[in-house]
Amino acid sequence: MEKLSVKIMATNREARHEYFIEEEFEAGIELQGTEVKSIRAGTLNLKDSWCGIKDGELLVNQMHISPYDHGNRFNPDPRRPRRLLMHKREIMRLFGKVKQDGYSIIPLSVYLKGSLVKVKIGLCKGKKLYDKRQAAAEKDAKRQIDRAMKERY
């Protein structure tokens, strides 16, 4: 069996800073017209995007896919809600977590898997300010340790 190549097109770095990521899921995405060409060109942004469940469907909101340069006048709205493709059982499990436990569903990255566009979403819990400070302190300490080790050897 041939292994599919994976090429990451965009990541949501802010999500890792703002949230604790409990679980990660892979989902397909329903796109229109020239959106795939635009994603292949790398013109998408996940910065303020989030996922919601409406009528049993998982939607990604506020994900910006710029209109394709060589497209026509029928290019779709750059910030329209897009449906994510997952099994109904997984969507209902996520829905239960979000409703009860105070979790959020955040898109973490968009990548090409073979010829398909996939979205990695995370079941996330928000960090408090002191959690962010602690994470920054740990990152700084690790950087100093690495620097000291590099100087030593």
Could you tell me the residue range of the domain that residue 64 belongs to?
Answer: 6-127
Assess if residue 144 is contained within a domain: no
**Do residues 21 and 104 make contact, with C-beta atoms less than 8 angstroms apart?**
no
Report which of 42, 33, 78 is spatially closest to residue 60, judged by C-alpha positions: 78
pLDDT at 87: 95
**Do residues 91 and 99 make contact, with C-beta atoms less than 8 angstroms apart?**
no
Q: Which CATH number characterizes residue 63's domain?
A: 2.40.280.10
Assess if residue 95 is contained within a domain: yes
Assess if residue 138 is contained within a domain: no
pTM, to two decimals: 0.81
Assess if residue 136 is contained within a domain: no
Dist CA 60 CA 106 (whole Å): 8
Assess if residue 137 is contained within a domain: no
Assess if residue 153 is contained within a domain: no
Assess if residue 148 is contained within a domain: no
Give the total number of structural domains in the chain: 1
pLDDT at 111: 94
Dist CA 26 CA 4 (whole Å): 15
pLDDT at 152: 74
pLDDT along the chain (153 residues), means of 10: 81 88 93 88 90 92 89 80 94 90 91 92 88 88 90 75
pLDDT at 2: 63
pLDDT at 26: 95
